[in-house]
Structure 1
């Protein structure tokens, strides 16, 4: 007997209940005991019960009531009534309410009980198998019917789609032919193996001076029309297309017509693969791009002329500024008052910082942006040369490669000119040597410029907006012009930190 077979005994007499349970356990059954009908019904909901031994007379509800409730809960569980009476009315009622068998107590031979349990369990198993088989057959019939219905629907849909596809294909082919035969571009299809033209649109006549039939009969006629200087390159290009089996664009010169007119013709060629991935066709489009080429060449020539003009303008501005700078230098030499002479020299250095911008623009190919790191280095070196006679200064630089527009580079250069000149003039008074550090870089979407020295430092309460120094006033005005922020730190020297949005950067490599 399988250990999983669980028998529920509903018996209020504990001696009878324990006796039956002990015997069933000895026979290999699992036993669940209930001393009342309601307790037994609750256990049926909680546990997996395979068979029930039901006393007809229970202390709470009758065996008949238990059978009625079981019929609603689980009618497939075998119920064997074990009663102390053999009245015909009770037997008939028990069977009518759903009892599977009826045994009378006391059970003198327990084998009768085992036989009844085995018999009714087999009956229950056969009933379940029959029900499952019936459900299985119903499911098979239903599934097969649905499959047939789906197959029929699919066949009807495919038949309709084939008809619609054939009609659409016919219409599409007509529209395609109408399209390729009316556009000015020549459309062609070429066999990838034989290199012969399978189809050439009528536009080829106007484009090459050859009819589609002529090209279909002799595909080598196109090669004869190629400009001699382009012929070898065209042959190599076509070989690469057949070898690489990838789309390609190219343009060549052709000499066509009776007047031997020179045309620039652009080609776009695409490989077409079969179901196995093998290229068996080349589809292409050819168009006359002569006017476009002429317009492009004219535009390039115009741009070159404008570049030369702009470079000449910057060169002349630089020369004029240099002339003004030289005049200020000469005038400064005539001034005996040292303070007045220094004002002239300050103005000269400001002009030189602007001159450097135009010099950098003249030196580079891009006339809208300058290499600001190179500009800062050159500016710092020139100011260093101007103050060689003062205290020796160790000039250090850490300049990130940055490109700025002219409108931004000019005020930045003037600010740096004032700050660096101020360091050389005032930072190292009374010191034997000094250090000046310059840096440029990007940080968190901001362009950062720093001028740091280890000199005597500004007063801690220094306010650049209230300064009466012309140089500091120039710096303050230019900072506002750039919508920038200038912070001054005074600690073992002075640090000027200028920061503003990196939106002023030029998008150059």
Structure 2
């Protein structure tokens, strides 16, 4: 059954009409109770009352409404309804009459919620399986690495395992988190960098400075960006810091508050200055010995920097290298998942 009731309100006489089905939706027998506006609002869920009241007030000013809200019946049962309403105005442009319909959509909404829960469970299970499969691949690489003693080859295995770990961590966060298709990237970066410092067993006097805003990213952006951070932090940990000093790696993740200032964020002559508007910036910097001027980071033999360039292009972002008292990689990007 459709469970649709209708109502009318003669504003001039303050007479109200409810159909029998509408009484039933609100948990009453026909004509059981006098219909008033206060009675109607008392049936609306307390958290929805202001929303419903504002919609009706706007309708009296000429804006029809089409809303969903919750009812609390006398027996405590909660129902979800869909209501549409409209105002008729007289020749003086004053509100003369209102009319509308109310449909009980409780079962429909509960079915939607149940299906959404099933889908969420299914997707989370997929993330869990992908994470486990990536960990198996990492374990296989570890076993394969035992066949070698050459430090360069062993380092290549380790770097590959860290790249796999950066992807596995994203799937783990999505499996554990409240959302199935986006993750809070700042929290992810905190865990990723902690894992990298642990992986390289840092005993040097290197501190980590994180300035991370709460930003949710989809999978298509988060995975490449995670690998990018993995490569840049790994590069700093391995190559940037001689012994005997205090060193620092800094990572910032920011939302560009005003898209009109995009060009001001980049230097006037930079590679990013003429690009399209971006939503976010990511900076990975260190105060180490820096990358020599003669090295072109966009055309290098370093697999890590090659990956960084490829992945920035994949997410349709923009990359700058700033050589100021160390190394600073500055990236502007959007969430291509949306």
Is TM (by shorter chain) over 0.5?
Answer: yes
Going from structure 1 to structure 2, the CA distance change for 1:324 and 1:190 (only over 3 Å counts) comes to same
Cα deviations by residue, 1:446-472 (Å, 9 ceiling, x for unpaired):
322111112121111211232112112
CA distance in 1, matches of 2:82, 2:319: 57
Conservation of the 8 A alpha-carbon contact between 1:453 and 1:493: yes
Quote the Cα distance in structure 2 between the aligned partners of 1:386 and 1:496. 22
Cα shift at 1:284? 6.3
1:414 and 2:247 are equivalent in the alignment: no
Return the offset for 1:364: 2.2
Alignment RMSD (CA, Å):
4.0
1:489 to partner: Cα distance: 2.2
Counterpart of 1:220? 32
- 1:343 aligned partner: 156
Is 1:387 the counterpart of 2:207 in the alignment? Answer: no
Match for residue 482 of structure 1? 315
Quick check: 1:378 aligned with 2:198? no
1:310 corresponds to 2:130: no
- Show structure 1 runs of 5+ residues with no match: 1-183, 224-232, 256-262, 272-280
Q: Which residue of 1 aligns with 2:253?
A: 440
CA distance in 2: counterparts of 1:339 and 1:448, whole angstroms: 34
Deviation, structure 1 residue 407 = 0.6
3-state SS of paired residue (1:441): strand
Alpha-carbon offset, residue 358 of structure 1: 0.9
- For residues 395-406 of structure 1, the aligned pairs below 5 Å read 395-406=208-219
CA contact (8 A) 1:254 1:264 kept: no
Distance 2:212 2:17 in 1: 62
One of 295, 298, 306 as aligned partner of 1:465: 298
- Equivalent in the alignment of 2:266: none
Q: 1:268 to 1:433 in 2, by over 3 A?
A: closer
**Greater C-alpha radius of gyration:** 1
Question: Pairwise mapping of residues 193-208 of structure 1 onto structure 2 (< 5 A)?
Answer: 200=17, 204=19
Shift of 1:269: 9.1
Q: Deviations over 1:136-155 (max 9, x none)?
A: xxxxxxxxxxxxxxxxxxxx
- Equivalence map 1:219-298=2 (5 Å): 219-220=31-32, 236-237=42-43, 247=56, 251=71, 285=100, 287=102, 289-290=103-104, 292-298=105-111
**Which position in structure 2 is the counterpart of 1:275?**
none
Greater share of helix: 1
How does the TM-score come out when normalised to structure 2? 0.69
- Alpha-carbon deviations, 1:325-384, whole Å to 9, x = none? 233234334421111111111000000110111122122222222111111111111101
Give the Cα–Cα distance (whole angstroms) in 2 for the partners of residues 440 and 385 of structure 1.
Answer: 22
CA distance in 1, matches of 2:305, 2:82: 62
Aligned residue for 2:66? none
Deviation string 1:289-337 (CA, Å, 9 cap, x unpaired) is: 34x3322221111111101111111111112112222332343344211
Give the alignment of 1:486-497 within 5 angstroms: 486-497=319-330
Match for residue 284 of structure 2? 451
Q: How does 1:62-101 map to 2 (within 5 A)?
A: none
**Secondary structure at the counterpart of residue 298 of structure 1:** helix
Provide the rounded CA distance (Å) in 1 between the counterparts of 2:306 and 2:152: 18
1:483 Cα deviation from its structure 2 partner = 2.3
Unaligned segments of structure 2, at least 5 residues: 58-68, 88-95, 257-261, 263-276
Structure 1 CA distance for aligned equivalents of residues 110 and 314 of structure 2: 41
Counterparts in 2 of 1:324 and 1:207: CA distance versus 1, 3 Å: same
Counterpart in 1 of 2:7?
Answer: 187
Alignment of 1:159-198 (within 5 A): 185-188=5-8
- After TM superposition, the score normalised by the length of structure 1 is 0.47
Kindly indicate whether the alpha-carbon contact (under 8 Å) linking 1:189 and 1:284 is maintained by their aligned counterparts in 2: yes
8 Å contact from structure 1 (residues 487, 496) kept in 2: yes
Q: Which structure exhibits the higher relative contact order, with contacts defined as CA atoms closer than 8 Å and separated by 6 or more residues?
A: 2
Q: Distance in 2 between matches of 1:440 and 1:207?
A: 52
Residues 126-185 of structure 1: CA distance to partner in whole angstroms, max 9, x if unpaired? xxxxxxxxxxxxxxxxxxxxxxxxxxxxxxxxxxxxxxxxxxxxxxxxxxxxxxxxxx74
Given the alignment, which residue of 297, 304, 327 partners 2:140?
327
